Chains A and B, each alone.
Chain A
């Protein structure tokens, strides 16, 4: 199955700053996804990123707070902007490998905002 390299694996950031998370897939994929997992909770989809078009955001998430880039079929970034302690979570990227393989996930970014 596909390998997704996600970085950084963890970071501690000051409130009011921004952090950009990168994900690199080892093969071309049409759709990539960004999830947030708050402490003790399950995964919530932030947005879907397609190459060549703007990301599609889920209810409760906005582009100004979570801008996403998808410059090609193997790479995507998520920026968490103007961070507050409430943004402390694990952020995960995912790729849809098609009907036969399902979804593959990166190793996650553990973000702590102080």
Chain B
């Protein structure tokens, strides 16, 4: 059974710092991996989608990497801003469904 874990559970950084969020999964037989952002009490916004054959994807200040063999993905956020404060979720694409990680609550202090 696929299990997805995110470390750290919470992170507080000053504005302008670069940071890395980690996601690990137990079964490397995945279709893809998707990073989402969730603001308090809201739905999910897709940030990046990495196919199983890809190593990384970039969008603006965000870069996500995928290492299937080691069961790991990282989300790199450059030059963090207070508006980046949210919960970040990684989700692994399994057969016809997503399996979510536990989330990282990010607070960027002005």
Which residues of A are at the interface with B, using a C-beta cutoff of 8 A? Answer: 1, 6, 31, 33, 42-45, 48, 90, 92, 94, 96, 99, 101-108, 110
Count of chain A to chain B residue pairs whose CB atoms are closer than 8 Å in the complex: 53
Chain A contact surface mostly: strand
Instruction: Point out the residues of chain A lying under 8 angstroms from B93, CB to CB.
Output: 102
Query: Interface residues of B, CB < 8 Å — how many?
Result: 23
Q: Kindly state whether residue B25 has any CB partner on chain A within 8 Å.
A: no
- Show the binding face of B for A, using Cβ within 8 Å: 31-32, 34, 36, 41-46, 49, 51, 89, 91, 93, 96-103
Shortest Cβ distance from B51 into A: residue: A99
Q: Chain A residues near B31: list those with CB within 8 A.
A: 99
A6 surroundings in chain B (CB, below 8 A): 43
Contacts of B102 in A (CB 8 A): 42
Nearest 4 interchain pairs by C-beta: A102-B49, A107-B43, A105-B44, A108-B43
A103 touching B100, Cβ below 8 Å: no
Q: Are A31 and B96 in contact (CB under 8 A)?
A: yes
B101 to A99, Cβ gap below 8 A?
no
Q: Evaluate whether A90 and B41 lie within 8 angstroms (CB atoms) in the complex, with A99-B32, A101-B49, A102-B49 already known.
A: yes
Nearest opposing residue in chain B for A96, CB measure: B96
Asked if A106 and B96 make an inter-chain contact with CB atoms under 8 angstroms apart, the answer reads no
B43 touches A45 (CB 8 A): no
Known A-B contacts A33-B97, A43-B89, A48-B96; A103 and B41 likewise in contact (beta carbons under 8 Å): no
Whether A103 contacts B96 by the Cβ 8 Å rule is no
